[in-house]
């Protein structure tokens, strides 16, 4: 039986990259160990993840971890742990800030990717927005890799990143895609702004922020202009042989994958396809396609580099104290236009307005 989450609980819930509907489809349509991993992960998403994150001692974790006392703004502080295929966090220390990359074993791949992409995400927020880590107070970044056995998911638990290795049939290891790492970390940014409650339209906006900033971290890392970017969330995450490009498409929501085992990408691109009253906190991973597509259209219309144009305005909107915690698409759209007028100018604000009109939010 599924229960509707209490309005205040979703914000404290770890947010995972693979939505429940995808795991449900796999549980019903895949075979053997792939099905078993999906079932187990679905159970985890529905039960353990529905509870506030707990420490080993059972106390509720603080929302964000303590800042290291010697922190210098602009200098990232990373620690990567190896959960050694167990479910206990954080696991064994694998790489500390400044340590050379461990080599010699394929299991270090995930450690080094997590280290590099945590660094790339920190760099993006610092260099582009002068934001000092997720909380803008220098939060040290912690991640655990090799979580459980064949775990097909990744999540941010309010304190650290957790990465599974994937099931080796449908999903690659979850450190593989830089935008997946940045997606999860951006949940920490949104949370520390105390913005966008993780349910219904505000929840879909919360999800969209993670996709939008995830895409920008990737584009910034590759120094890609908007016309060169792939606009796919999680490119390379699906195993070879699976019919799909990634988890979501910002350029064409609803077309990222169509596979017998995964199902078909259910995302709408416009309000005509808006889905109401469904599981997944009111369809947060489905309806996020609409604001995702608006961002894509705005970034394309403005041209150049996303983080210098539309991204700037989206960041100002996310950090605007007048953005309500339960904001709907319309409220968010109006605020982006306001910020665009003062930051980019009236013509550019007009292009952003057109993007929101194209997806039928305005
Ligand atoms: Zn998410």
Q: What is the 280 CA–ligand 1 centroid distance (Å)? A: 11
Domains of the chain: 200-358 (1.10.390.10)
**pLDDT by residue, tens only, the chain of 362 residues:** 333 333 334 444 567 888 888 888 888 888 888 888 888 888 887 776 554 443 333 333 444 555 556 789 999 999 999 999 999 999 999 999 999 998 888 788 999 999 999 999 999 999 999 999 999 999 999 999 999 999 999 998 888 999 999 998 999 999 999 999 999 999 999 999 988 999 999 999 999 999 999 999 999 999 999 999 999 999 999 998 999 999 999 999 999 999 999 999 999 999 999 998 778 888 999 999 999 999 999 999 999 999 999 999 999 999 999 999 999 999 999 999 999 999 999 999 999 999 999 999 99
Instruction: Check if 285 is active-site.
Output: yes
293 is catalytic: no
Where residue 266 falls (left for φ over 0; alpha for ψ -120 to 50; beta otherwise) is alpha
CA 285 to ligand 1 centroid distance, Å: 7
Q: Give the residue from 245, 242, 332 showing the smallest Cα distance to 292.
A: 332
Distance in Å, CA 104 to ligand 1 centroid: 33
Task: Give, in order, the Cα–Cα distances in Å from 221 to each of 123, 126, 193, 199.
Answer: 9, 13, 24, 31
Q: Which among 184, 191, 200, 353 is annotated as catalytic? A: 184
- What is the spatial distance between Cα 258 and Cα 42, in angstroms, rounded to a whole number? 20
Distances (CA, A) of 215 to 121, 175, 287, 335, 351: 11, 15, 17, 21, 20
Distance from Cα 288 to the centre of ligand 1, integer Å: 10
**One of 285, 293, 339, 353 is an active-site residue; which one?**
285
């Amino acid at each position: 039986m599924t229960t509707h989450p209490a309005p205040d609980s979703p914000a404290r819930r770890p947010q995972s990259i693979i939505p429940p509907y995808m795991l449900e489809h796999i549980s019903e349509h895949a075979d053997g160990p792939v099905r078993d991993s999906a079932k187990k992960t679905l159970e985890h998403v529905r039960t353990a993840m529905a509870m506030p994150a707990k420490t080993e001692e059972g106390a509720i974790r603080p929302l964000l971890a303590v800042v290291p006392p010697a922190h210098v703004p602009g200098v990232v502080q990373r620690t990567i742990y190896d959960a050694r295929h167990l479910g206990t966090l954080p696991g064994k220390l694998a790489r500390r800030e400044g340590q050379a990359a461990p080599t010699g074993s394929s299991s270090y791949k995930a450690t080094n990717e997590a280290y590099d992409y945590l660094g790339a995400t920190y760099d993006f927020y610092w260099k582009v927005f002068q934001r000092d880590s997720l909380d803008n107070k220098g939060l040290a970044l912690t991640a655990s890799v090799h979580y459980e056995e064949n775990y097909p998911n990744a999540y941010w638990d309010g304190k650290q990143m957790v990465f599974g290795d994937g099931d080796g049939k449908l999903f690659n290891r979850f450190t593989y895609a830089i935008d997946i790492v940045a997606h999860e970390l951006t949940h920490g940014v949104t949370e520390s702004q105390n913005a966008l409650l993780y349910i219904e339209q505000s929840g879909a906006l919360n999800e969209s922020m993670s996709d939008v900033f995830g895409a920008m971290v990737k584009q910034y890392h590759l120094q890609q202009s908007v016309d060169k970017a792939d606009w796919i969330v999680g490119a390379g995450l699906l195993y070879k042989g699976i019919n799909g490009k990634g988890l979501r498409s910002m350029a064409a929501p609803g077309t990222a994958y169509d596979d017998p085992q995964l199902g078909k990408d259910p995302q709408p691109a416009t309000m005509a396809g808006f889905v109401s009253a469904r599981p997944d906190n009111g369809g947060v991973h489905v309806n996020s396609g609409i604001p995702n597509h608006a961002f894509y259209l705005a970034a394309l219309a403005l041209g150049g580099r996303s983080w210098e144009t539309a991204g700037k305005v989206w960041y100002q909107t996310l950090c605007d104290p007048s953005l309500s915690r339960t904001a709907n698409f319309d409220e968010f759209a109006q605020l982006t236009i306001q910020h665009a007028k003062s930051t980019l100018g009236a013509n550019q604000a007009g292009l952003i307005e057109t993007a929101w009109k194209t997806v039928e939010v305005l």
